[in-house]
Structure 1
Amino acid sequence: MRSDETTRSIVSNGYSANAAYHAPRKGGVSVNGHSPHLNGSAHALKNGTSKRKAFRSPLYRGHNREELTRILIQGLKDMGYEDSANSLSSESGYELESSEVASFRAAILSGRWVQAERILAGHYSDDGGGGAYPAEQGIVLAEHASRDQMLFWIRKQKFLELLVRRDLLSALKVLREELTPLHHDTYQLHTLSGLLMCTQAELETQLRWPEDPEDARQRLLEDLTNSIAPSVMIRDHRLAELLDHVKRAQINGCRYHNTSEPPSLYSDHECSQQAFPSSTDMILEQHSGEVYCVAFSPDGTKLATAGEDKICIIYDTRKFQVIHRLQKHTAPITHISWSPDSKRIVTTAAEPHAHVWDAVTGKLVVSMEHQTGERRPITSAAWTPDSERLVTGCHDRDAKMCLWDLNTQGSKSLLHTWSGEFRVSDLAITSDGRRIVCNDMDEMLIVYNLDNYREEFRLKLSSKITCITASRDSPIVIVNIAEGEVHMIDVDERCLIRKFKGGSQGGNIIRNCFGGAAENFVLSGSKDGQIYIWHKENSEEIAKLKEHGKGSKNEQCVTSVSWNPMNSGMFASGGDDRKVRIWTNTLSDDSNTEFEPRRNHPDLGRLSAIRTTASNL
């Protein structure tokens, strides 16, 4: 039955007078199935209402024809097919945007702030000499959007541009006469007023202002678009967003997705289980004690391992031959961290020193010590993205973290010390180098701004935090907690977004990692001697690998895991049995691998192994 495909009743925005939609009223149209008076607006929207050349069904295979056509017009323009977009608009009778909306967009991008505000408020004047006409409430907004918020954003942009140009008197005037009377956000007003006292260098650091002002205006327009009814103004690159959703759904439904290439749109996608690393290809037995840390270098050419025997061993990953034995510590090594350029490695131990080594020569570069009276162990270390600075964490409250410049000698190499209140047991630096994520000795995750050294926020978790790992290309960290779960935290959003359950930890320090070609998986060791692997997007446990044996204390804990960032079919694990295992995607007949049965999954993920295509347009 296809009665919905054959109806001849066509109205504005693709809504018909049949039972599926509300009929439009004179002087307005329905917006998203609601009355035309959404947000108090009663003026008519001009989104392809007057050029219809032929009668067609308002639906295309169940989809709103106008919505689909306007999105296609926008997509063609995005891809540079301007003539094709115009042809589609002419043939279909639908316009991408009304002249009102187009003028609003142009006013924002060109910095004509007064005109933008007039259009938003409804005092619109077109470019065709037709004069101004009033609309009761201006551009129709999305549900729950605030016109005052939008005015605040516009005036804030105006203020910041004046500030960057160092026109301080004009900026102060905007702050006093335009922003303050809105009574919208007192906290932001205080923050903005404080910027007036900043030097140009301080301003650039705090604002991270783009070189091209149009980039900042484009970001403003994106925020404004999200507050405008989508039937009036389609969000930029909407077609690319929808295609990303399609690909993400395919990734979420692919149990063993382990490629950085996005799925094809031509056919449904599924990766083979045979390509997933699930069997031991090699066993490294160079350590005489329990292995606490394993870590591949960012370029994938080396593997570092360390632990109870106080030695850090570096292997060449082509044949896993030992190339360096780093010996300086007098206590078991508890943490190792590679510099992003793979040239240096830092080791920390149950002692007050951290050592930085040249990974090529194996020579000690520098030793660092937190200069306080307590001489507590340095517990962890993390590099900034430029490989020039290093942050160390410590159990000493007087110097819980220290920032070091490795290009400077002596006391000047210590750039900053954080002190007070708690001790740091682990830390990581986000991929953009903007934040330090650390934990206290209990359940608290604390985030600091690395530019101004100030604390940004805290997040209390359900039990003691033992390990923190940062994503290579997103503001995401994963943390192990004592109750045996891995939690995923969005640092930008300041919230817990996902939990991975199945392993056991107790009081042990067990390290996790992201895995796969595009960080498609989350891995962690476990007190029960198994390696747990989860699908990052939907939290499903997809594999449990158990080949590590018991150690000298009759325990079989897998303490650390690391995925080779340059080889999607290889990862390493270390454990109490003093062994390091190299896992590959060659399945053996006697592999002790437990796989869960395949199930179909809905699109649960906020993150994706695909990278959005909208930013590349």
Structure 2
Amino acid sequence: MLADADGSGTTNGRSRSYANGKSSQRPSAAATTNGTHKSGPSKNGPSKPRPSEKYFNHDREEVTRILIQALSDMGYHSAAQDVSETSGYELESPTVASFRTAILEGEWAEAEELLDITVSSGEVGSSHNSGLVLATGSDRNVMRFWIRQQKYLELLERREHDKALMVLRNELTSLYQDTRKLHFLSGLIMCQSKEELRLKASWDGANGRSRYTLLSELAKCISPSVMLPEHRLSDLLNQVKEAQITGCVWHSSGETPTLYSDHICNRHDFPTETVFELDDHAGEVWQVVFSHDGTKLASSGSDKQVIIWEVPSFKILHSLKEHDSGVGNVAWSWDDSMLVTCCQDRYARLWDVKTGHCLRLLYRYEEPVSSCVWAPDNKSFIIGSLDKVGSLVQWDLSAEKIHDWKGPPRIEELALSPDGRWLVVMDTENHIHVYNFRTKEFEYKLDLKSRLTSLSISQNSRYLLVNQINGYAQLVDLVLQMPVQHYTGHIGGNFVIRASLGGAHEMFVIAGSEDGFLNIWSKATAQYGRTIPGGGINGNKRQSGVQTFDQKVVFCYEMPGIHQFKNTYIAQRLKVDESREQY
């Protein structure tokens, strides 16, 4: 029921002797001092001189203990033991090891006894304490509740309902006043099987990973100086790589940076040249969207058709022409086998991508259909419209209504996070409305002070990019419910101009502009990276849609034309290949 833990390492597993894990005989309290340097004699000679406190301006003890943990994570247990013995530093104290073992072996009484003698990090002597030291802000009662909850679930799993009921009444209720949580736990007694219990509790049982998950959550409440966070070296190395990527002004490589040298990308590999200009639309082009696998591109606009292109040849696969008005938006199913088109004729249509045939004509709305997103199950989709009532409705593949979200009136655009958690709605004013897609509950609403023109959610599902008519784009943290970065320099106006996250690792924000240029910023720093003109752009062309995939950037205009940028090397190579085909 707690958050899943990464089970790839052994940090919170049964430790080896150098980490003071459980052995056939419990170590004595004097054996180690929780990572402090041994002062007693070594096994093979006189006392070792105490090494320098610093390792290139880093604390030697911290570096050594992290190294011991990393060697253990990688399976080099003998090497970890050698480092521990040679350095005189231990990964953790006997008390910490005993606590770890008690949790993993289900010795709940012992685990609580050890928890009872913890000290807080701010208490006198806590820095030299060989037992458990709580992290700042940690609550012993919350930790006790987690332990007793695990105990309760394991009793239910063993069908010992009388004992489980006693734990619920006498141990859990006294610690937790959240009646909804307690009611949920009490309801689990009615489960008829172990499988039902595990499913309802989102818990994998005593023999699964649940005890390791519990230990990981408890470890977060213990001072890291006493119990290292899991896979600490890996986390530090990831931070180093992320910092190097963030600091790379021309980052265009999708490969993970090496640790052997500092990371820097060649500015000449940054997308700067037009590879293709597609002019098969007879009117304004309003939207372009890559399929999820990047092998197709759909474009739509005022000429009442949607064109599906093959990528990278950009040959036309289908022209979907059964629309009675302009098509403002399209949405690919997650497996790219179907496409929903949103039309100003007040209909949404479901298409078979392989055949190009229209599968369903949905309910006729009162106002134009503006947007669509697919549900994660690939069996339904949510339509947004400019209707005042019924503006946010979920439909199945048979065009049957599944759920009316009771959304705000007059919706212009939708976005669904890749993890299926957030459904974000953009109205015709200044607001975004955020729903929990899984529970179908409304979460919150933000007023961004100026009319919005587009939405785009990051691949990690954490951030929402919003473009606005005032030439201002904002990056909103969906968890913190607030903007955390903004981007300026492009020209807004009364037209739909979109912005997108793109580039390797989504390191850039890309936005169109009323002057026909592409504007690119660093996502993290908002540093203005480059303004790129499209070939043949003139003042009468406004960029309306921007889409990225891999290292491709495609944008379209409110005049006929679609452009694609790629980096210079690939653009030149494609041009050479094309010239060869002509001969």
1:550 and 1:576 in contact (8 A); partners too: no
Tell me the residue number matched to 1:50.
Answer: 38
Unmatched tracts of structure 2, length 5 or more: 1-31, 43-47, 120-127, 572-583
Q: Secondary structure at the match of 1:274?
A: helix
- Written as runs of structure 1 = structure 2, the 5 A alignment for 1:164-243 is 173-182=166-175, 189=182, 208-210=202-204, 214-243=208-237
Q: Name which of 516, 530, 535 aligns with 1:543.
A: 530
Q: CA deviation at 1:384?
A: 2.6
- TM-score, normalised on structure 2? 0.81
Alignment RMSD (CA, Å): 3.3
**How far has the Cα of 1:123 moved from its partner?**
8.2
Is the aligned partner of 1:244 residue 2:238? yes
Residue 481 of structure 1 is matched in structure 2 by 468
CA contact (8 A) 1:148 1:184 kept: no
Task: Say if 2:408 and 2:427, in contact at 8 Å, map to a contact too.
Answer: no
2:379 paired residue among 368, 384, 388: 388
Q: Distance in 2 between matches of 1:322 and 1:212?
A: 56
Q: Which moved more, 1:533-542 or 1:72-81?
A: 533-542
2:501 is equivalent to residue 519 of structure 1:
no
C-alpha offsets along residues 396-429 of structure 1, whole Å, 9 cap, x if unaligned?
Answer: 24322222222xx35xx32212125534221122
Deviation (angstroms), 1:185: 5.3
Matched residue, 1:606: none
Alignment of 1:431-470 (within 5 A): 431-470=418-457
**Superposed displacement of residue 380, structure 1:** 0.7
- Structure 1 distance, partners of 2:187, 2:387, is 34
**Structure 2 CA distance for aligned equivalents of residues 203 and 458 of structure 1:** 36
Match of 2:307 among 304, 313, 317: 313
| 2:553 counterpart (571, 588, 593) | 571
Partner of 2:390: 399
Distance in 1 of aligned mates of 2:402 and 2:236: 46
Note if contact 2:93-2:131 (Cα within 8 Å) is conserved in structure 1. no
Report the equivalent of 1:5. Answer: none
Task: Give the corresponding residue for 1:266.
Answer: 260
- Which range moves more in the overlay, 245-254 or 177-186? 177-186
Q: What is the alpha-carbon distance in structure 2 between the residues aligned to residue 497 and residue 446 of structure 1?
A: 17
Paired amino acid for 1:182: L
Measure the CA separation in 2 of the matches of 1:227 and 1:150. Answer: 8
Q: Residue 498 of structure 1 is aligned with which of 472, 485, 493? A: 485
Question: Is 1:302–2:296 an aligned residue pair?
Answer: yes
Alignment match, 2:76: 81
Please state how far the C-alpha of 1:349 moved relative to its aligned partner.
1.8
Q: Which residue of 2 aligns with 1:16?
A: none
Q: Which residue of 1 aligns with 2:25?
A: none
Q: Partner residue of 2:565?
A: 583
For residues 478 and 223 of structure 2, the distance between their equivalents in structure 1, rounded to whole angstroms, comes to: 29
Alpha-carbon deviation of 1:346? 1.4
Aligned partners of 1:122 and 1:136 also within 8 Å:
no
Distance 1:480 1:188, change over 3 A: farther
Matches within 5 A, 1:151-170: 151-159=144-152
Measure, in 2, the Cα distance between the counterparts of 1:363 and 1:584. Answer: 32
Counterpart in 2 of 1:338? 332
Structure 1 492/110 Cα, relative in aligned 2: closer, same or farther at 3 Å? farther
Cα deviation for residue 444 of structure 1 reads 2.8
- Native 8 Å contact 1:45 1:232 kept in 2: no
Residue deviations 1:136-181, cap 9 Å, x none? Answer: 9972112233223323333344455667778776555444433332
User: Relative to structure 1, is the Cα distance of residues 514 and 111 closer, same or farther in structure 2, using a 3 angstrom cutoff?
Assistant: farther
**Aligned letter for 1:377?**
P
1:70-110, CA deviations, whole angstroms, 9 ceiling, x for partnerless residues?
00000000001111111111111111011111122222334
CA change 1:262–1:184 in 2 (3 A) is farther
Name the CA distance, whole Å, in 2 between partners of 1:349 and 1:189: 49
Maintained 8 Å contact 1:489/1:497: yes
Q: Is contact 2:118–2:132 with CA below 8 Å preserved after alignment? A: no
Partner Cα separation in structure 1 for residue 304 and residue 327 of structure 2: 5
Distance in 2 of aligned mates of 1:261 and 1:483: 36
% same residue: 38
Match of 2:411 in 1: 424
**What amino acid is the match of 1:99?**
P
* Structure 1 residue aligned with 2:12: none
CA distance in 1, matches of 2:428, 2:389: 15
Please tell me whether the aligned partners of residues 145 and 176 of structure 2 are also in contact (alpha carbons under 8 angstroms). Answer: no
Q: TM-score, normalised by structure 1?
A: 0.77
Provide the C-alpha distance between the structure 1 equivalents of 2:350 and 2:291, rounded to a whole number of angstroms.
14
Greater CA drift, 271-280 or 351-360: 351-360
Give the deviation of 1:197 after TM superposition. Answer: 8.1
- Secondary structure at the aligned position of 2:415 is classed as strand
SS state of the match for residue 387, structure 1? coil
Q: List gaps (5 residues or longer) in structure 1.
A: 1-43, 125-134, 590-617
Q: Alpha carbons of 1:257 and 1:327: their partners in 2 closer, same or farther (altered >3 Å)? A: same
| Deviation (angstroms), 1:257 | 1.6
Match of 2:369 in 1: 378
Q: Which amino acid aligns with 2:383?
A: T
Rounded to whole Å, the distance in 1 between the matches of 2:535 and 2:185 is 57
Distance 1:518 1:430 in 2: 16
CA deviation digits over 1:211-245, x for unaligned, max 9? Answer: 78643433333332222111111000000011111
CA distance in 1, matches of 2:486, 2:159: 47
Of 81, 96, 117, which aligns to 1:101? 96
SS at match of 2:568: coil
Deviates more, 1:199-208 or 1:77-86: 199-208
Amino acid of the structure 1 residue aligned with 2:71: L
Instruction: Name the structure 2 match of 1:280.
Output: 274
Deviations along 1:460-519, whole A, 9 cap, x unmatched? 333333322223344333222333332223334444333233323333222222212332
Q: CA deviation at 1:580?
A: 0.4
Q: Partner of 1:149 in structure 2?
A: 142
State the distance in 1 between where 2:305 and 2:534 align: 24
> How far apart are the structure 2 equivalents of 1:415 and 1:103?
53
Q: Do the aligned residues in 1 keep the contact of 2:157 with 2:205 (CA within 8 Å)?
A: no
Alignment of 1:318-329 (within 5 A): 318-329=312-323
Do the aligned partners of 2:220 and 2:229 also contact (CA within 8 Å) in 1?
yes
CA contact (8 A) 2:423 2:435 kept: yes
Name the aligned partner's letter for residue 228 of structure 2: I
Amino acid at match of 1:296: F
Q: Secondary structure at the match of 2:475?
A: strand
1:2-151 correspondence runs (5 A): 46-50=34-38, 53=42, 54-55=48-49, 56-122=51-117, 139-151=132-144
Contact 1:354/1:368 (<8 A) preserved: yes
* Cα distance, 1:381 vs structure 2: 0.6
Contact residue 368 and residue 386 of structure 2 kept, 8 A: yes
- Distance verdict in 2 for CA 1:225–1:277, change over 3 Å: same
Aligned to 2:19: none
- The reply on whether 1:534 has 2:521 as its aligned counterpart is yes
CA-to-partner distance for each residue in 1:368-404, whole Å, 9 max, x for gaps?
A: 226xxx6222211111334322111122243222222
